[in-house]
Amino acid sequence: MAAFLPIAVLLSLLVTGAMAGGYGSQTPSPSTPAPYTPTAATPPPTPTPAPYTPQPATPKPAPAAQGYDDKKLVVVRVEGLVVCQSCAKMGSQSLDGAAPLPGANVTVTCRDRKNRVMAYRRRVADSNGYFHAEFGVQRADGYLDKDPRGACFVRLLSSPDPKCNIVTNIHGGLEGAPLRDEGKQWTDGRGFKNVVFAAGPLAFRPRECAPTHHY
């Protein structure tokens, strides 16, 4: 029994040395890798828009009622009617029952920006009592207040009918009839704006009328 003791001690020392040298130790199992999580793609940078620059507003056209641009060339035309007032309305401003007065003479006068006479036309009414006067090409701002409507006027001059030749001031026929814009305009073949203004109707009255009362 005592003879086997050194062998047992030797075996014990071998085992202890082996364990100290790493023999017989458990090899650690490799760790389980974390599940793969895909990384979201980084979006490209958003371009910065250019700063907004507002566009200038489109200028509005001149009002249609005006009918012309006061900085441009224009052909001014003036038209109207001359009538003989009915005896039944004599002494009033009414032209009910009036008749056209062919051959009546009128004058159309226009003033410049300095209130001087710039143009003058004498016209004779046709068989319907209608007259028309045309003025040459002119800058609209050359007229008084840049407006032919206020710069021009029409006056009765004479009547060929001895029975109806007394000038009345109906619609300004004696003092000067103002013009009105009725929206008549067009561009002629030369490219000039033509604007037609109207005056009247203007009236002469009879020299004598039969009495309306019987005695």
As given in the structure block, the two tokens for residue 86 are: 């009915």
Looking at residue 170, its pLDDT comes to 96
Looking at residue 57, its pLDDT comes to 45
Distance from chain centroid for Cα 88: 48
CA angle in degrees (0–180, nearest 5) for 45-43-33: 140
Looking at residue 210, its pLDDT comes to 81
Distance from chain centroid for Cα 123: 36
Distance from chain centroid for Cα 208: 53
80 with 200: CB under 8 angstroms? yes
Looking at residue 211, its pLDDT comes to 76
Q: How many CA atoms lie within 13 A of 90 on its CB side?
A: 17
Residues 6 or more apart whose Cβ sits within 8 Å of residue 88: 96, 97, 212
Residue whose C-alpha is closest to residue 196's, from 211, 208, 213, 182:
182
| Positions in the chain short of pLDDT 70 | 1-71, 212-215
Looking at residue 58, its pLDDT comes to 43
178 with 150: CB under 8 angstroms? yes
Residue whose C-alpha is closest to residue 151's, from 169, 160, 138:
138
As given in the structure block, the two tokens for residue 204 are: 């002469």
Residue whose C-alpha is closest to residue 159's, from 86, 80, 100:
100
Prediction pTM value:
0.65
E strands, the chain, in order? 73-84, 99-100, 105-111, 117-124, 130-139, 152-158, 166-167, 177-178, 180-187, 193-205
Q: What structural domains and CATH numbers belong to the chain? A: 73-205 (2.60.40)
